[in-house]
Amino acid sequence: MREYVIGVDIGGTKIATGLVSNEGKLKQKVVMPTLSTRGLKVSLEQVYKSIAGLIKVSKVDRKKIKGIGVCAPGPLDPMKGVVHNPPNLFGWHEVPLAALLRKRFSKPTKLENDANAAGMAEVIWGAAKGYKHVVYVTVSTGIGTAVIINGKIFHGKNGMAGEGGHVTIDYNAKNARCNCGNNGCIEALASGPYTVKRLVAQIKKHPGTKTNIMDMVDGELDKITMITIAEAAAEGDSFALETIAEEGKLLGIWLGSMVNVLDPEVIVIGGGVSLIGNVLFKEIRKSMYAHTINIFAKNTPVLPAKLKRDVGIFGAASVLIKR
Amino acid sequence: MREYVIGVDIGGTKIATGLVSNEGKLKQKVVMPTLSTRGLKVSLEQVYKSIAGLIKVSKVDRKKIKGIGVCAPGPLDPMKGVVHNPPNLFGWHEVPLAALLRKRFSKPTKLENDANAAGMAEVIWGAAKGYKHVVYVTVSTGIGTAVIINGKIFHGKNGMAGEGGHVTIDYNAKNARCNCGNNGCIEALASGPYTVKRLVAQIKKHPGTKTNIMDMVDGELDKITMITIAEAAAEGDSFALETIAEEGKLLGIWLGSMVNVLDPEVIVIGGGVSLIGNVLFKEIRKSMYAHTINIFAKNTPVLPAKLKRDVGIFGAASVLIKR
């Protein structure tokens, strides 16, 4: 019998809610604004509405819906199902979200943070299928990770494990102050915005740099994004390619350290920046293999994530899938 | 009924073998030279002799000996019980040590690397007793770690997990080339020998440095060890105290990253350098709490190891203790 799980992806701007079958098919999707600036009461009501709306519009027998998985920005406690105080959900403070939804919809409910949920979706339906020990990485505005051990998300003591984006590889870094307050976290060296920042700094420092990027943004430096860099690289722009190579090198140094600690069976990399593809991945692999003491690491695959669109919904749903 | 496990600690210089009771008492100990320069056949024979000798001299009923735990320098495969090719065991190459000992002594046998074994001993008999998720660290000539998850050593795909000493926190470091070939591994920044090296470099750079250390070694810089530094610090030598503070700061930055990834319940620090005690530990804690994104880390204890003497024997024995 086909069964379903509801996946709810709560972001600062929008709530994406979807009905996901146990084979990993997205049957129906509803997107609503979070209205997060209007405070807890309003945005929580939006969460309720999005789930109720999805159930209604999908016309699926309620009995076939086995539960509700929710992912939200951290910090949160996945064991207790409590959202601590995410900076982009205004007024949310120690909200027992899993319990509230369980009461409201009378379904098993689980809360998980974004990166952990996305990692679990890769284990269940994506590139890490069949693996037990997985390091999942998402590189986009920030860098998030999930540590999966014996097929389960590893939460640690307080549900805060897996914050690999804040591993420092350059604690002395002069120009890599991270949003977390420390220096040289990989997030502050290799996430999308920081990579753009480094490229812009290079252009400012060497105004004669040979690159098409300036033309692509009509000379307006603040229009440059990772997409600009990726497009320029795809056309063979050597400056863009160097920027991506540097990003890959940094990610590889960091992953070398992660492999030293965790010796995973596979590393899966998702997030917007990973869409750059092989140009980036080949640099990551080369650097990772060069920066680990693990003599077997060259046999550890570094794969692009399979789930791209709606990964938040799939992630949220995946934490409730029985295997 | 009192039962025993034999713990065999194989080092490059000596083999220490002990009979350990299930309550963690060392009943009898035998120490023999490894004779590692004479090759595999001779040094393996020394291992056999040390175990046979211990059994004989202890006069314990063989039936009460429940197994043989062995720790050796890595790289090795704890799952298969195979020693790969440790640099300080000459001629050892893919030696199926666990199988050889099992055959020879007809007892269950397990192989583990030094740091993992020491970490397990702390979980069973030491400072980490009662904890499930533990990061164990040994700081001495090198820096080793053990990652313990759900009360078990986490081995990863190839038995190579837990090499936290080779996490880099300063990949750009100019003067911290690690023995592993990379830059800025914590081992190359904060192990005993590297800390001594940094202090000596400081003295050379600033010949007028106010410190008693020079007098303590009769002006011979190459006589300075961590013990010299620790003794000077204990007498209030401000230069020695600064050196230890810097070491603590570096270890704390690194542990902050480890906490970000693993969110352990407790961190236990052993090894020769840890004997410096509170002067070092208070700097480690301060730095760790300042360098993690984990909002609960200030409640995560950072404790000195309990097992000091014969930790190798206890470690080797601990991997076979049933709980």
CA gap A179, B297 in Å, rounded: 18
Provide the CA B75 distance to its chain's centre, in angstroms: 14
- Predicted pLDDT at B47: 98
Digit-coded pLDDT (tens) for B180-211: 999 999 999 999 999 999 999 999 999 888 99
Nearest CA in chain A to B261: A162
CA gap B317, B118 in Å, rounded: 10
Helix, strand, coil abundance in chain B, percent, nearest 5: 40, 20, 35
Contacts of B293 in chain A (CB under 8 A): 163, 166, 180, 182
CB atoms B159 and A263 under 8 Å:
yes
The two most distant CA atoms of chain B are separated, in Å, by 65
Going along chain A from its start, the domains and CATH numbers come out as: 4-123+310-318 (3.30.420.40), 132-304 (3.30.420.40)
Contacts of B253 in chain A (CB under 8 A): 168, 171
Contacts of A157 in chain B (CB under 8 A): 133, 263-265, 296, 300
CB atoms A172 and B172 under 8 Å:
yes
Q: Is B207 exposed, middle or buried (0-12, 13-18, 19+ CB in 10 A)?
A: exposed
Residues in chain B: 323
Tens-binned pLDDT, residue by residue, of chain B (323 aa): 789 999 999 999 999 999 999 999 999 999 999 999 999 999 999 999 999 999 999 999 999 999 999 999 889 999 999 999 998 899 999 999 999 999 999 999 999 999 999 999 999 999 999 999 999 999 999 999 999 999 999 999 999 999 999 999 999 998 899 999 999 999 999 999 999 999 999 999 998 889 999 999 999 999 999 999 999 999 999 999 999 999 999 999 999 999 999 999 999 999 999 999 999 999 999 999 999 999 999 999 999 999 999 999 999 999 999 77
Q: Which of B269, B273, B137 is nearest to B196 (CA)?
A: B273
Place of tokens 């299928």: A129
User: Regarding beta strands B266-270 and B134-139, do their DSSP bridges make them parallel or antiparallel, or are they unpaired?
Assistant: parallel
Contacts of B149 in chain A (CB under 8 A): 149, 154
CB atoms B167 and A167 under 8 Å:
yes
Report ipTM for this prediction. 0.96
Nearest CA in chain A to B291: A182
Nearest to B157 among A156, A261, A300 (CB): A300
CA gap A277, A139 in Å, rounded: 12
Contacts of B172 in chain A (CB under 8 A): 170, 172
CB atoms A172 and B170 under 8 Å:
yes
**Which pTM value belongs to this model?**
0.96
Tell me A64's DSSP state: G
Which H or E run contains B265? Answer: none
CB atoms B261 and A172 under 8 Å:
no
